[in-house]
Structure 1
Amino acid sequence: MKKPVLIISYYWPPAGGPGVQRWLKFAKYLPENGYDVTVVIPEKPHYPVRDESLVKEIPENISVIKVSINEPSRLSGKLSRKRTKNLQRGIINKKANLLERTLIWIRGNLFIPDARVGWKRHVLKAVELYFATHKNATLITTGPPHSVHLIGMELKYLVPSIKWLADFRDPWTTIGYHKDLKLSERAQKKHLQLEQQVLDQADMLLVTSPHTGKEFKSKTATPIQLITNGFDIQPNTIQNQPKGKFILAHVGTLLADRNPLLLWESLQELCDEIPSFKEDLSLQLAGNLSDDILLSISENQLEKYLDNKGYVSHDEAVELMFNAQALLLIEIDTEETKAIIPGKIFEYFASRRPIIGIGPKSADIELLLTDTHAGEFFNYQQKTALKKHILSIYELYKKGDNKANFNEQISRYRRSHLTKILAQTIDYTWE
């Protein structure tokens, strides 16, 4: 008999972006590991990014409970559609106008911990019947939005016999944008209080990065399990370099704070110094871009090389990765972002194209790149080394020798393998 597990996730297809795929893929492989999976998702949510291609990946052998949700972003969207979507995506304008500053203040101080907090009462009512017949189920909540964990905390109180695993795809109070929400002292205190309650009352904490695990270990005695994100695509089998331009590609959102000036400056200098470089260069950016990124590219006279794809489907993103000469992995240069491991890095691994990582010193992504030999990492003070490395890749490209990386270390990041670890973790909580 399969063991029951209930997953509560705000993000689910047709939501786009890498975050949705974590539990979509766990739900796919958990039945193979002896689990009867039910997923609770919002009904008609207001997702800032949508990818209809992911709908076809929803497993047929799981149950889905759709629960109504009131989205405050619908109302604010009537005031300013673009600004509201940017806030939902995490794009906070550093030169915000009065309306934007007001929306940010409301988001940070009136909706704690986030704007989906009102979904809680609807979910609690919707799952009453499930827990009436599954008193020994495993409950998994995944955030952000971290208000989903408040649902888990309430259910653990109402049904003490369940085991509750709280999954943190990102940190809570130490995430980079938290300080930009214009929090009052009362709001900040409330965030810290709620975070501590969740950390202490869950039976197990799941984290996606070593830094987050270390942070939580300093805050609670609750057991912690590191399970990174991963990939579920078929790895690239072509060893030779792709044909065509010298494509440097970035897949994903580029925020104002994630603006690698050292990269733009290095590319501009290489264009000035090497005539063939500017003839071959193509800078492909797929995803939501802040105006600051576009301005920096223009100021460094790179706009003629820019291929701005905008948001693309998951299938298109994979094709872009496979056809790049090198993949750009860029993280914000702050202490808080050392813990962030972008979900795209794992599909970057599967693409087997060289990765150029840029981020803060001692970031977790540096450890991953070193471990898999999938690329090189540079902090924001290493412009000379970065420029030299890009040139070395370009020289390989000109020789037709910019080959793929076939290091088998990447196999540990297959979604099927990671789900086995999750299944073992669930079993451990019941011992």
Structure 2
Amino acid sequence: MKILVVSWYMPPYLTMGALRVGKLCKFFHQSGHELRILSCDDLPFPNNLPLEIPEDLILRTDSLDINGFPKAVQKLRLALQGLFAGGSSSVPAVALETGGSSPGIPVSETANDAPARPSLAKRTLRMLRIVYQELLNFPDPQVGWYFSGKRGGGSILAEWQPDVVFASAPPFTTLMVARALCRQRKLPLVVEYRDRFYEDPYASLSNSFRKKIERVVENWWMKDAKAIVTVSEPWAEDYQERFGLPVIPVYNGFDPDDFAADHPRQPTDSNILNIVYTGILYPERRDPSPLFEAMSLCGDAGKNIRVSFYGADRDTLIAMASRHGVLDQIDIHDSIPYQQSIDRQMNADILLLLQWNDPKERGNVPGKVFEYLGSRRPVLGIGVEDGVPARILKERDAGIVVNDPGIIAQHLKSWLAEKQAQGKIDLLPMDARKGLSRPEQFEKVETLLKRVADDAS
């Protein structure tokens, strides 16, 4: 089967999207399929994720930064502000793509601690920035890739004809590029939703007009799709009901090549329970505060619990841990290469999973869930307690998802007692990860693509 994969993310850029798509392409390549990949070059992420297919299968095109002009204006304003402000100081404006406050930067205060009111010029610039983003960052800030992506895809199709096109989103500009290519060449399109667009639970619902436009645009680009791949059963049910297309849920899974059963486990201090988290934090949405409160509830025993964070914002963590008096039990590390993160997970006692404690999160299944199961370490989850990750962990007796600090404290004490009694926390049985390897999951994608390609021929 000849497969064209369209994805903004690909290794070596270290993101969960690049990891999933890169592993899927590895599976296709090892399964003997003829493969081409259209992707974007020079992404703003660490570039240390191993590429496991030949580079010459990938065409990486450039992308126009549509926010380049307002970013330049912002830099100029800050430079002029620093030049003419004299002794006065104010909060540096954050990068345009964040649209929020900058962690760890103190807010300017008046003598009575009240925040200074922004000047008319600042308020005007902020409003112009918001209007600019709403109008031009559509469907997302990566829309600047649309034309170069189309040109790159056209150059591939001028010399090679795939049986099926597989487009993975986000960013959702990817789906617009893939749709245009499929319409030009009358090719069948299969769409992958790794995250939501119109129904995105993390998106602000304040702009109801934009949400209406998003729904219309999503319906438009899905008109040419023949099938959908997504990451969980609840999302699959939603998409099937909405679009009336074949939909399959395909978990991220873990790669057995990365999580070998005989991976060396380093001995650790038998008096210390080591908990590891790899990834970023979102205050109130991926928030370890219940764990920190539970550690403080453990009293003297809690002093023997250490939590290591890799890649989370330092200032955010310091504020959270200090609030609960456990700062001296927290180790904060910069983001590390993927293979190193696997090693940290394999050598932890307990692995921490953070999600949003909200019903909207039920169908969201972080790829980290499967890395943790691949590591065969017990999982402590904080977040929605009746979501797909909680069900998977419960069915496999691989961990818990709970938000009550008192209950978390009980589990911490139990794990600590086990560690101190036998010098280690037992590995999960191999059955805990059965059926969740990437090859086992990706076989479902392969079967779907073959069916779509056969129907089109």
Q: TM-score range by the shorter chain?
A: 0.7 to 0.9
Matches within 5 A, 1:417-428: 417-428=440-451
Q: Is the Cα contact below 8 Å between 1:239 and 1:403 reproduced in 2?
A: no
Matches within 5 A, 1:15-30: 15-30=13-28
Matches within 5 A, 1:148-167: 148-160=174-186, 162-167=187-192
Q: Is the Cα contact below 8 Å between 2:6 and 2:167 reproduced in 1?
A: yes
Residue 373 of structure 2 aligns to a residue in which SS?
helix
Residue 125 of structure 1 aligns to a residue in which SS?
helix
CA shift in 2, pair 1:375/1:238, >3 Å: farther
Q: Is the Cα contact below 8 Å between 2:398 and 2:432 reproduced in 1?
A: no
CA shift in 2, pair 1:211/1:384, >3 Å: same
Offset, 1:407:
3.3
| Aligned-partner residue type, residue 125 of structure 1 | R
CA shift in 2, pair 1:254/1:102, >3 Å: farther
Selected match of 1:66 from 60, 71, 86: 60
| Aligned-partner residue type, residue 24 of structure 2 | F
Q: Is the Cα contact below 8 Å between 1:108 and 1:114 reproduced in 2?
A: no
Residue 260 of structure 2 aligns to a residue in which SS?
coil
Higher mean C-alpha deviation, range 247-256 or range 149-158? 149-158
Tell me the alpha carbon deviations over residues 192-238 of structure 1, each in whole angstroms, 9 at most, x when there is no partner.
Answer: 11222233431110101112112212211011011110212133436
Are residues 1:367 and 2:391 paired?
yes
Gaps of 5+ in 1: none
Gaps of 5+ in 2: 76-91, 108-117
Residue 259 of structure 2 aligns to a residue in which SS?
coil
| Aligned-partner residue type, residue 84 of structure 1 | A
User: In structure 1, what is the Cα distance between the partners aligned to 2:227 and 2:52?
Assistant: 26
Alignment correspondent of 1:262? 290
Matches within 5 A, 1:19-418: 19-45=17-43, 47=44, 49-52=45-48, 54=49, 56-60=50-54, 63-75=57-69, 79=74, 83-84=94-95, 87=98, 106-160=132-186, 162-179=187-204, 183=207, 185-232=208-255, 233-237=258-262, 242-244=267-269, 245-257=272-284, 258-270=286-298, 273=299, 275-278=300-303, 280-289=304-313, 291-378=315-402, 380=403, 382-399=404-421, 400-418=423-441
Q: Give the number of equivalent residue pairs.
A: 414
CA shift in 2, pair 1:263/1:234, >3 Å: closer
User: In structure 2, what is the Cα distance between the partners aligned to 1:332 and 1:9?
Assistant: 27
Tell me the alpha carbon deviations over residues 103-146 of structure 1, each in whole angstroms, 9 at most, x when there is no partner.
Answer: 56643443111011121121212222432444452111111111
User: In structure 2, what is the Cα distance between the partners aligned to 1:82 and 1:17?
Assistant: 26
Offset, 1:19:
2.1
CA shift in 2, pair 1:87/1:290, >3 Å: farther
User: In structure 2, what is the Cα distance between the partners aligned to 1:91 and 1:345?
Assistant: 30
Offset, 1:393:
1.0
CA shift in 2, pair 1:86/1:230, >3 Å: farther
Q: Is the Cα contact below 8 Å between 1:256 and 1:290 reproduced in 2?
A: no
Tell me the alpha carbon deviations over residues 240-260 of structure 1, each in whole angstroms, 9 at most, x when there is no partner.
Answer: 884123211111111113224
Residue 253 of structure 2 aligns to a residue in which SS?
coil
User: In structure 2, what is the Cα distance between the partners aligned to 1:100 and 1:50?
Assistant: 30
Q: Is the Cα contact below 8 Å between 1:251 and 1:317 reproduced in 2?
A: yes
TM-score, with length taken from structure 2: 0.82
TM-score, with length taken from structure 1: 0.87
Offset, 1:27:
0.9
User: In structure 1, what is the Cα distance between the partners aligned to 2:453 and 2:428?
Assistant: 40
Offset, 1:409:
4.3
Are residues 1:14 and 2:42 paired?
no
Residue 21 of structure 1 aligns to a residue in which SS?
helix
CA shift in 2, pair 1:107/1:242, >3 Å: farther
Tell me the alpha carbon deviations over residues 17-54 of structure 1, each in whole angstroms, 9 at most, x when there is no partner.
Answer: 32211110111121232311111111223x2x3142x1
| Aligned-partner residue type, residue 247 of structure 1 | N
Q: Is the Cα contact below 8 Å between 1:153 and 1:201 reproduced in 2?
A: yes
Residue 141 of structure 1 aligns to a residue in which SS?
strand
| Aligned-partner residue type, residue 385 of structure 1 | I
Q: Is the Cα contact below 8 Å between 1:29 and 1:419 reproduced in 2?
A: yes
CA shift in 2, pair 1:139/1:238, >3 Å: closer
Q: Is the Cα contact below 8 Å between 2:66 and 2:141 reproduced in 1?
A: yes
Offset, 1:167:
0.7
User: In structure 1, what is the Cα distance between the partners aligned to 2:101 and 2:189?
Assistant: 32
User: In structure 1, what is the Cα distance between the partners aligned to 2:156 and 2:264?
Assistant: 49
Offset, 1:60:
1.8
Identity %: 18
Residue 72 of structure 1 aligns to a residue in which SS?
coil
User: In structure 2, what is the Cα distance between the partners aligned to 1:104 and 1:324?
Assistant: 43
Q: Is the Cα contact below 8 Å between 2:11 and 2:18 reproduced in 1?
A: yes
Q: Is the Cα contact below 8 Å between 1:330 and 1:358 reproduced in 2?
A: yes
Q: Is the Cα contact below 8 Å between 2:66 and 2:136 reproduced in 1?
A: no
CA shift in 2, pair 1:178/1:430, >3 Å: same
